[in-house]
Structures are given as structure tokens and as C-alpha cells.
A and B are shown apart, each in its own frame.
Chain A
Amino acid sequence: MLTSLPQRTAIRNPRAQARKTFEKQPMHIEIDEISKSFGTTAALHPVSLSLPSGALVALLGPSGSGKTTLLRILGGLEFPTSGRVLFDGQDATGLSVQERRAGFVFQSYALFRHMTVFDNIAYGLNARPRASRPTKAEIARRVTKLLDLIQLPDIGARYPSQLSGGQRQRVALARALAIEPRMLLLDEPFGALDAKVRKELRQGLRDIHDTTGLTTVFVTHDQEEAMELADLVVVMSMGRIEQIGKPQDIRARPATAFVKDFITA
């Protein structure tokens, strides 16, 4: 009984526990002259961008602006035609998607439908080679902790089809966090939700970012969302970066006619 006391405290204060897992120095991401073309069409003209360690960054733009392509290049799901990606100053361009350890949350969440929520969150840990795989008990402990973090402690045994849209989004987030990612990448994390849930979960993402301290990049086409949530907003259009800046700066001094139009729309 005595030995379980610390854990009880942990459950009462999951955020404190989570901070422990992610207390390493968050990663600094550098995008150096990255371009991408699909066949003859250019999705990204050479873009360069420096994402400060621990920031919450929004890639904002209309569809076709290249923001999702840029996110997928960071996650290792797409490879640049030219240019480099640097993680903490080291060239990561050639790293495979598995080696990147990017916590990626997909627009559709892409939860595994044949697995329970518990197994979904445990997936990344179970997929590790035997030598570096945590014990069953350790995995269970971490999953429980993550379920507490997303404030859904009792849904471990359910299947994704039995969850609401907002719950699915948070489970996808927990699954991405389970691998102790070096950064968090989210593709339209609120895109599939109705307006009310969307507002609630915005604060949830901000909280999780603040708790974990991870460098976090999310893609959105909703300027209000980007402005309200992000430390740094990158406005994109037609495969180019239009402006980089803090929300208030962008609002006060839009750099181009496009930005002006887009943020007032």
C-alpha cells in the first residue's frame, strides 16, 4: 500500500508527472532552403525557417499553400526535392520516418480501429525492438499516465469507433506523446471537429504543449485559431512563406497584401 502512494499523487497531478518525462531540452528545428515538387508542379519553393526550441508554431495558409507538405517533410513522411532539415543543428534530412521520433497527429487521427485505446497508445512502445522495449508493467504505467494527461482516464478498454471526435483527437495526441517524441507535429488537429469542441480542445493543446514543453508545429487554415493559440505564426501561400512573426505583430503589420487579406477574412 505504501509503495503505491507516490503514484496516487501522480494521478492527482498528471501534468507534474508528464513534465518529468519531457524535461529534456526541447528541440530546435531549422528548415534550410527546402523545396518540394510533385512531378512538374512545385508544392514548395525553397523556404527557410527557424523554429525556436519549445515554441508552439502555427503553419497558416489556404489549401494548396504547401503547409501540410512542409509538416510532412518535418515528420519524414515526405522527402524534399532539395534543401536540408536540421534538428538541434544536425542534418536530419536523411533520417527515416521511424528514426525521426516525431509525434505526428493526423488530420483523420488515423487511430488503429482494431485496437483498444490502450493498445493504440501503447503501440509505439510495443513496436520498439526487444532490447529497448519497456516492460509490460512499465508500458501500462505510461499509458495510464497519458490517459490522465488527456483527462480521459477510463477509456482504455474502448475501441476508437466508440469514441467521440474530440476524444479521438486526444487519444491520437496521447499516442503520439507515448513515444517520447522530440517534437510534436499536428496536421489540422481541429479540422474534423465541430465549432464548440474545437474551442475546448484549443486550450487542451496549449496546456499539453506547456506541460510537455515540446517544440510543437500545427497546420491550420483558420487564422483565428493560429492567432489565438500559437507563439509564432508562419503564413504561407502558393508554396512560399509570406510572413513569420508573433500573432500580434502579424496582425499589426501584415507584410504583404495576401497576409492582410487572409487575416482579416
Chain B
Amino acid sequence: MKGPVIHRSPMPGLGLSMGITLTMLSIVVLLPIGALLLKGANYGLAGIWETVNRERVWAALFLSFRLSLFAALLNLVFGVLLAWVLVRYRFPGRRLLDAAVDLPFALPTAVAGIALTALYAPRGFFGQLAAEIGWKIAYTQWGIFIALVFVGLPFVARTVQPVIEEIEREVEEASATLGASRLHTLRHVILPMLLPAALTGFALALARAVGEYGSVIFIAGNIPLVTEIAPLLIIIQLEEFNYDAAAAIGIAMLLISFAMLLAINLIQVWSRRRIGYV
């Protein structure tokens, strides 16, 4: 397998395109991430552990991860449903619905944040309704949950949609001719086919939610130990010029992201090996 690092090619522009790619990648992404890792290395594992191993930090990391997990789970179910409805059914308003799925990608997080807060605050439209049954949403963990559902909404739907489009009708028909009810077909034939894509979307939504800041801080209330998310802790440390602590928490979050990225890749490897496609 030991070939040259770069194969000879008649294509022009190797030096230029490689130069631009590697230089910009380094300046914008690699060096800054390197700086964070270097800071962590200087601070030492013991230092990082000392920073992270405090009640307030654990509480924030655990809160971010737990609520992100719940939000991603809801998005997993709702996203598969949305994808199915958008691909398989024809009804008035389908294009509108399809475009609306992308709004959380397009709407700036700060805008989403204040809009959700306006809706779910005690005097907001949904907040008032909830208050009547004694349910407080904004400034509680429920508020964070809703914001995280919002930002993660498109991921599962958008990864699953193309897979549904590619399912051959004959496979569903085969299942029916073998005597399976529609429900049995959905559960044993279609859902397994959607699973790898759905899990990929789930992991993407989870990764996004864990790191989310803008749409959450307005609705969260930001009470230490209760509704304080991990990214906010970094900002607080930075405002106090406590770079070591900020870096320590940042590295902890980076590790979570990398673990998620690894999970996504493993899902795809597993899926490709088992059924020959992603």
C-alpha cells in the first residue's frame, strides 16, 4: 500500500489549492484548537481534573449532556416521523413544512433564544397556558430542553429523508406478500433500514445540543447548579480572565464532541459492513 504521498496528476493547481487549503485550515481551525490543547497540556491533567471536578462544573456538564440527550431522543422520534411524512405523503402545505424544517439552521441562535423566551416566559403565549396548570417552563430545565429540541430539529429529519426516498417499493411489497401487516413491515423492514441514518442524525443533534449557547442562555435562567449550562461556565471564566479554568472546561467539552464524532463514524462503518451502504 506504500505509494507516493501524492500521486502524479495532469490536473493543474496542485500547489495553489493545497497551499490555500492547508494554510487556511491551519490558521482558522487547527492552530486555535491546538492552542486550547496546549493550554490544557501546560495546565496539566491534575489541573484540568481539579477544575472540572467541582460541583458547579459537574452540574453544568451533566445538565448540558442530560438535557441534550433527552432533546436528541425526542428529535430522533419526531425527525423520523417528519421525514416519513415529507417523503411519503402528498398534502397541501408540504413544501412549507419541508422548508420549515430548516429554519432552526437558518435562524440565528440569539433570535431563536429571545423568541422562545418571549413565548414560554410566564407572561408569554405558551407560558401563560402552562402556568394555568402550574407548569413553569422558561427559566427552568424545561426551557433549556425546548431550546435544545429547537436547535436539533433538522438533523434526524434531514439525514433520514434521502434514505426513505431510496427504499425500493418492492421491498415493502415483498414483506406484504409474505403475510406481514403494515405495522410489522414498518417495524421489521423499514425502521431497521432507517436506523443507521437516524442514529447519525441523533448523534449530530446531540453534539449540536451539548455545545449550544445562544438559543439557551436567554431561556435558561442560568442559576448555578440548576440551569447553568457548560458553555456559559466557559464564558463566565473568561470574563474573570480565568483562562486555565476556561480551557479545562473547554477541553472536557471538546472530548465529548470528539467522542460523538467517533460514534458517528463507527455507526457508518458498522452500517456499511452489515448492509453495504450508509
Contacts and interface: CB of A to CB of B under 8 A. Distances in A.
Interface of A: 75-77, 97-98, 100-104, 106-108, 110-115, 123-124, 126-128, 159, 161, 175-176, 178-179
Nearest to B193: A114
Interface residues of B, number: 21
Contacts, number: 75
A176 B170 contact: no
A215 to B, nearest CB: 16
Contacts of B179: 98, 101, 124, 127-128, 179
B188 A103 contact: no
A85 to B, nearest CB: 15
Contacts of A102: 177
Contact of A108 (B168, B274, B275): B168
A110 B174 CA distance: 6
Interface string B164-204: 00001011011111111100100011001100000000000
Contacts of B178: 123-124, 127, 175-176, 178-179
Given A161-B275, A161-B276, A114 B177 contact: no
Contacts of A76: 176-177
Interface string B258-278: 000000000000000011110
A114 B175 contact: no
Given A106-B170, A127-B181, A113 B175 contact: no
B51 to A, nearest CB: 45
Given A98-B181, A107-B170, A123-B178, 5 more contacts: A111-B174, A112-B175, A124-B180, A127-B179, A161-B275
Central interface residue in B176, B181, B274, by most chain A CB within 10 Å: B176
A115 to B, nearest CB: 8
B199 to A, nearest CB: 13
